[in-house]
């Protein structure tokens, strides 16, 4: 039987001894506990002659676990636990003498609301705008925006071509789309015909807002 003081003294002496041996470049093997060694990190030098101890930036202790520590998965037990926010909400309720807890409201570990204003951040939706043939025309207006927002997309034909339609059949250009979900639309172009007309706007200007 060893006293608490005996165990602490042995551990302190072991740490001092290990530190001394590691600084001498030795590898320490402690049976099932594992092996301890040092790893060095340094910055490079132009030549070996210019390399010195000043180039060494970090000395790290590496632990290679013994067989008892290499695979703990077989003996480990896992249990579901409450989120940190829920735990904080429970502790806050206990301190305030409450018997009911609303864990749906985010709480910081210090007990303060993580969203003091009570508002939630809108979801983000991705609007992808593509050109069916980039040699005939380009598109703009894509990106990541708040859910429910309205965005304007535009198809710009190159010389000799005219805007034809969007992949959903709309011929309005430019047009607005409402993002209720992630959306991908493609603009197609056609060879321009002689006789004037606005090549950038397409034939139908009466389209509505997509996503309404």
5-34 tens-digit pLDDT: 999 999 999 999 999 999 999 999 999 899
DSSP 90-118: HHHHHHTT-S---TTS-B-TTSSBSSTT-
- What is the band of 98 on the pLDDT scale with cuts at 50, 70, 90? confident
Terminal-residue alpha carbon distance, the chain: 78
**211 neighbors 177 (Cβ within 8 angstroms):** yes
- Predicted local distance difference test score (pLDDT) of residue 110: 61
- Predicted local distance difference test score (pLDDT) of residue 99: 83
- Predicted local distance difference test score (pLDDT) of residue 40: 92
Report which of residues 182 and 112 the model is more confident about: 182
Cα distance between residue 11 and residue 126, in whole Å: 57
- Predicted local distance difference test score (pLDDT) of residue 86: 83
- Predicted local distance difference test score (pLDDT) of residue 7: 93
Please give the mean pLDDT across all residues of the chain: 84
- What is the band of 113 on the pLDDT scale with cuts at 50, 70, 90? low
- What is the band of 116 on the pLDDT scale with cuts at 50, 70, 90? low
Cα distance between residue 194 and residue 199, in whole Å: 11
Residue 109, pLDDT above cutoff 60: no
| CB count in 10 Å sphere of residue 131 | 19
Q: Kindly list the strands in the beta sheet with 143-146, ordered across the sheet, starting from the edge strand earlier in the chain.
A: 143-146, 124-131, 183-191, 161-166
Task: Report the percentage of the chain scoring pLDDT > 70.
Answer: 83
- Predicted local distance difference test score (pLDDT) of residue 193: 79
155-210 tens-digit pLDDT: 999 999 999 999 999 999 999 999 999 999 999 999 987 654 444 444 444 444 45
- Predicted local distance difference test score (pLDDT) of residue 71: 81
């Amino acid at each position: 039987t060893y006293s608490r003081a005996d165990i602490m003294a042995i551990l302190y002496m072991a740490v001092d001894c290990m530190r001394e041996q590691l600084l001498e470049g030795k590898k320490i093997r402690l049976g099932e506990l594992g092996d301890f060694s040092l790893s060095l990190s340094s910055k490079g030098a132009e030549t070996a002659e210019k390399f010195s101890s000043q180039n060494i930036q970090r000395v790290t202790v590496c632990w290679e676990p013994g067989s008892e520590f290499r695979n703990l998965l077989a003996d480990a037990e896992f249990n579901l636990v409450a989120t940190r926010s829920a735990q904080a909400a429970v502790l806050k309720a206990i301190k305030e003498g409450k018997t009911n807890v609303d864990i749906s409201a985010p709480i910081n570990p210090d007990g303060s609301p993580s969203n003091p204003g009570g508002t939630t951040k809108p979801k983000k939706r991705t609007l992808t705008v593509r050109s069916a043939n980039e040699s005939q025309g380009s598109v703009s207006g894509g990106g990541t925006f708040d859910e429910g927002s309205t965005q304007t997309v535009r198809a710009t034909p190159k010389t000799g071509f005219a805007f034809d339609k969007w992949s959903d059949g709309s011929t309005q250009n430019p047009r607005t789309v409402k993002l209720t979900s992630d959306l991908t639309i493609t603009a197609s172009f056609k060879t321009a015909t002689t006789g004037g007309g606005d090549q950038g706007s397409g034939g139908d200007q009466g389209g509505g807002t997509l996503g309404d």
